Structure 1
Amino acid sequence: METDDLDWKTKLPPRKNLAQNDFPKDVAAMANAGGGVIIYGVEEVQKAATRRTDAGELGEIHERALRSAAYTAISPPVMGLKIYRLGDEGHRAVIVEIPASTEGPHLIYRQDLFGAPKRNDADTVWMREREIEVAYRARFEERRRGDEALAGLYDEAAAGRGDDRAWLIAVARPRFPHIGAPIARHAIGDLFNRISTAAPTWSTNQVTHPISKCDFFAPRPGLRRWVAPDRGTRDNRETWASVHHDGSATLVTTAGGHSRREGNFEPHQIESSAIELGVVDFLALAWSTAEKYGLDEYDVRMGLVWSGKEPLRVWTVDSVGDLTDQYSTPLWRYTPVDATLNLQTTLEDFQSDVYEFAVTCVNQTGLRGLRWTRSPDKSFD
């Protein structure tokens, strides 16, 4: 029988004008009711499944159109759809899993009109004004709690850092934390291997990646987390990473005072590569953690902490290959950069988000372009 979280459909919606048919309404209705599943390829009578039928072919372009409709035809977008193909030709079925959402109410627009659909047992109804008001209140309250949790995670990671030299602090927290069994200790090494796959996809390996300083093959237990400690190399760099049992991830790494041929940078002097590759490695860690736990939407925050008597200065390479800080803006305080990202995606599809987040983080220092991070067209600035 159809229920609040289960809907039978005979055929896949056609790809043409997908945003104008019932698919966005069905997805929004499920999201507004706490998530659910739409199954294509089932005939029903009186809301009860009677027999299998062929749902039709779902190619890659059609699947992308489904995801696009959920993103563009619904406000706010419904992200993180999981789509599964089942059966052979003549008996094909498609399952679309809609996640629970904290961004309700999700609205559907038809020209100048809009409404918020919602599942009510086996039917789709329109939310009344009072229901919409309650949904908005729930969204704002959930956002407040999420912001507080992210700030708490960031403050915890930053505690005790910044007195000796500048540190890069980055944290990621899932919008819907994992509540099942945590990652086993022996699986942390597998997660590290995925990071090693992701980071080179988005950046160059011509300079040292902070994550390479972590020992993911000898993780230590922490407070509801696994901690990959710094390996203690003698190059004046230090990095610690952690994967939390709820799906959160943190990376703390030295940004100032790195060693170079002519001697060490001062504690307040930062190479631009430390910021760029810090962002890349952090998002690779978050992406790998999300993949391992099967999570999608994450709130992320990245910042630089420094409490010394000199302003932060960021050094980059000029047109002739010399290090210089003349293009950067001295900063007495670096404002943490926040974003909400969908991590349930491919390495290639996530590349634009990685690049844009890195640009935002570097722009605050006065620098315009990226040198070490791969742009979406796979060229380098």
Structure 2
Amino acid sequence: MPRSWTRLHAYLGHPPGPVTYEMVAEAVQRKLGESDDLDWKEALPPASPVPGQWNEFAKDVAAMANTRGGLLVYGVSDTIDMVGIDLSKVNDKQLGHWLRVHLQPTVSGVNYLKLLATDGSGKDVLVVDVPASEMAPHFLYGWQQKDKDKTTFNAPFRHRDDTDYMAEHQIALAYRDRFARQDAAEAALEQHVQHTTDLLFGESEGERAWLVVAARPTRPIPRMVPALTRSEAQEVIFRGSKRAEDLLASALPMPRLLGPRLFPEFLDNNPRKGLRRWVDTNMLVPARATRRRGVLVELHHDGTVVTAVDLSHNALPRSHPAVALPVSCPVLISAVFETIALVHEYRLTLRADTPIELRATLQTQSGHGHRLTPVVLDHGHPEVAEWGRQPRTVQPTHSDLAPFADDHALVASATELAEGLLHQFGLDILPA
């Protein structure tokens, strides 16, 4: 999915959205100069480069990915005049193959936007949208005749309106930045989980087992991108619930055994403003105190999604012998699938083409030491899974979503998260 906020948007004053031919034409007419995230190209890359030869297209993509992402626009001359290109000669598969062959590691998430002229000029353009890469630095290798047929292996990057090559200290810094980003992403997920846990324990009474799921894009949405409106946030939650219903129907033979969907059942889809986020919950407002199952949904402006669901509330009928810390496995499964669907719909709305990292954990108040007791459905009635393990703690589980996840990938991610927790009770995703 192409990025929705680029140099063209910022220069022209456009809101986030797809890059259009009209935007390119206006930028050309206003003589927008090249920069580290915009490169005008007059002609398409040669159709048949010599195998092993230095590949200029791969170099340009790597340079953008190694810097902060950007646009390569084919069909605009060095003098910033619209000249157009023949879109019939654009071969997406071949361009992608060049990136896989000539770059190490390859750059993923590159989009090819074929924009037909809308002004009657016939001067079509190709926009190659390159995201900033979390796997930078990317190296380009091949041989160059101008270097007397020497094989070279360099990491290109954009410097203002030019492409240069990293020196050794810059490469070392790029690797440190990569590892730091990975560590920071893990720390950010943990911070979201911990903040939510502290909030839940401060609001709930008695011992509870809470499912907390945090999902964070590997490239968070920049602060300059306008946040969703309240109505847009409501629409995201609504669409997430509908998609979750479809995902559960395709993943489980009898999804109705899980009961009603949690978010539409226990929330009014009435999100309120929070700290750079929208918050929808049936807790936290004393005037609207409820004895229903506690549910929390947060849609952060940077693309992060956090959900929390009380798994102990009415997990067993009151006539059942007392269990200190029951965990409803059907509610856990439903909550995980609903969260995955919500994460996906939120990413689509933000037009974010980045992978999503997910972390799911069961949180209990420390110091009590009660055993987590799994509760399953037996002929439609909740019962303690006598054959299941009853651990005092459960390790967090992780999964991820690719930038272009389909329903199959969403089900696989939800299943991985849910099973990661259920397997620690000795249970499968389909409890008896």
Structures share a fold, TM > 0.5?
A: yes
For 2:344, the equivalent position in structure 1 comes to 287
Change (3 A) 1:233 1:329: farther
For 2:22, the equivalent position in structure 1 comes to none
The DSSP-based 3-state class of the residue aligned with 2:393 is coil
Q: CA shift at 1:119, angstroms?
A: 3.1
Q: Aligned partners of 2:189 and 2:101: how far apart in 1?
A: 27
For 2:131, the equivalent position in structure 1 comes to 99
Change (3 A) 1:326 1:2: same
The DSSP-based 3-state class of the residue aligned with 2:267 is coil
Q: CA shift at 1:88, angstroms?
A: 6.6
For residues 208-235 of structure 1, give each alpha carbon's deviation from its aligned partner in whole angstroms, at most 9, with x where no partner exists: 3322334353222323322212398989
Q: Aligned partners of 2:377 and 2:48: how far apart in 1?
A: 48
Contact persistence 2:189–2:216 (CA under 8 A): yes
For 2:195, the equivalent position in structure 1 comes to 156
Paired residue type of 2:282: D
For 2:429, the equivalent position in structure 1 comes to 370
Match of 2:310 among 254, 261, 271: 254
For 1:200, the equivalent position in structure 2 comes to 245
Q: Aligned partners of 2:158 and 2:360: how far apart in 1?
A: 38
For residues 281-338 of structure 1, give each alpha carbon's deviation from its aligned partner in whole angstroms, at most 9, with x where no partner exists: 1122222222222222333221001234422133446899995625533221122223
Q: Aligned partners of 1:319 and 1:182: how far apart in 2?
A: 46
Paired residue type of 1:84: L
Q: Does 1:183 align with 2:228?
A: yes
Q: Which sits farther off after the overlay, 247-256 or 76-85?
A: 76-85
More helix by share: 2
Q: Aligned partners of 2:58 and 2:418: how far apart in 1?
A: 32
Change (3 A) 1:131 1:333: same
For 1:10, the equivalent position in structure 2 comes to 43
The DSSP-based 3-state class of the residue aligned with 1:364 is helix
The DSSP-based 3-state class of the residue aligned with 1:37 is strand
The DSSP-based 3-state class of the residue aligned with 1:287 is helix
Q: Aligned partners of 2:104 and 2:296: how far apart in 1?
A: 38
Contact persistence 1:191–1:289 (CA under 8 A): yes
Q: Aligned partners of 2:97 and 2:371: how far apart in 1?
A: 44
Q: Aligned partners of 1:9 and 1:26: how far apart in 2?
A: 14
For 2:280, the equivalent position in structure 1 comes to 228
Count of residue correspondences? 367
Contact persistence 2:278–2:298 (CA under 8 A): yes
Q: Does 1:302 align with 2:360?
A: yes
For residues 138-170 of structure 1, give each alpha carbon's deviation from its aligned partner in whole angstroms, at most 9, with x where no partner exists: 223333333333222111111154652211011
Q: Aligned partners of 2:419 and 2:402: how far apart in 1?
A: 18
Change (3 A) 1:2 1:349: farther
For residues 187-242 of structure 1, give each alpha carbon's deviation from its aligned partner in whole angstroms, at most 9, with x where no partner exists: 22211222023212321341233223343532223233222123989895321212
Structure 1 unaligned regions, length at least 5: 373-380
Change (3 A) 1:321 1:261: closer
Contact persistence 2:83–2:123 (CA under 8 A): no
Paired residue type of 1:31: A
Change (3 A) 1:348 1:56: farther
Q: Aligned partners of 1:271 and 1:72: how far apart in 2?
A: 49
For residues 331-380 of structure 1, give each alpha carbon's deviation from its aligned partner in whole angstroms, at most 9, with x where no partner exists: 2112222345345544455443333333334333333x4339xxxxxxxx
Q: CA shift at 1:87, angstroms?
A: 0.7
RMSD: 4.1
Paired residue type of 1:285: L
For 1:376, the equivalent position in structure 2 comes to none
| Matched ranges for 1:33-48 at <5 A | 33-40=67-74, 42=75, 44=77
For residues 68-106 of structure 1, give each alpha carbon's deviation from its aligned partner in whole angstroms, at most 9, with x where no partner exists: 876897555544434423117975433221122343212
Q: Does 1:86 align with 2:86?
A: no
Q: CA shift at 1:133, angstroms?
A: 0.1
Contact persistence 1:53–1:92 (CA under 8 A): yes
Q: Aligned partners of 1:69 and 1:199: how far apart in 2?
A: 38
Q: CA shift at 1:124, angstroms?
A: 4.3
Contact persistence 2:325–2:373 (CA under 8 A): yes
| Matched ranges for 1:317-336 at <5 A | 325-336=385-396
Paired residue type of 1:173: R
The DSSP-based 3-state class of the residue aligned with 1:56 is helix
Q: Aligned partners of 1:88 and 1:310: how far apart in 2?
A: 67
Paired residue type of 1:286: V
Q: Which sits farther off after the overlay, 349-358 or 18-27?
A: 18-27
The DSSP-based 3-state class of the residue aligned with 1:104 is coil
Contact persistence 2:85–2:124 (CA under 8 A): yes
Q: Aligned partners of 1:366 and 1:19: how far apart in 2?
A: 52
Match of 1:272 among 329, 339, 344: 329
Q: Aligned partners of 1:284 and 1:113: how far apart in 2?
A: 45
| Matched ranges for 1:29-178 at <5 A | 29-40=63-74, 42=75, 44=77, 51-56=83-88, 75-76=104-105, 78-87=107-116, 92-108=124-140, 115-120=154-159, 124-161=163-200, 163-174=206-217, 175-178=219-222
Q: Aligned partners of 1:360 and 1:255: how far apart in 2?
A: 16
Paired residue type of 1:37: L
For 2:293, the equivalent position in structure 1 comes to 237
TM-score (norm: length of structure 2): 0.70
Structure with higher Rg: it is 2
TM-score (norm: length of structure 1): 0.78
Contact persistence 1:301–1:337 (CA under 8 A): yes
Contact persistence 2:210–2:362 (CA under 8 A): yes
Q: Aligned partners of 1:148 and 1:213: how far apart in 2?
A: 32
Percent identity, aligned pairs only, is 24
Q: Aligned partners of 2:374 and 2:102: how far apart in 1?
A: 42
Change (3 A) 1:322 1:338: closer
The DSSP-based 3-state class of the residue aligned with 1:335 is coil
For 2:21, the equivalent position in structure 1 comes to none
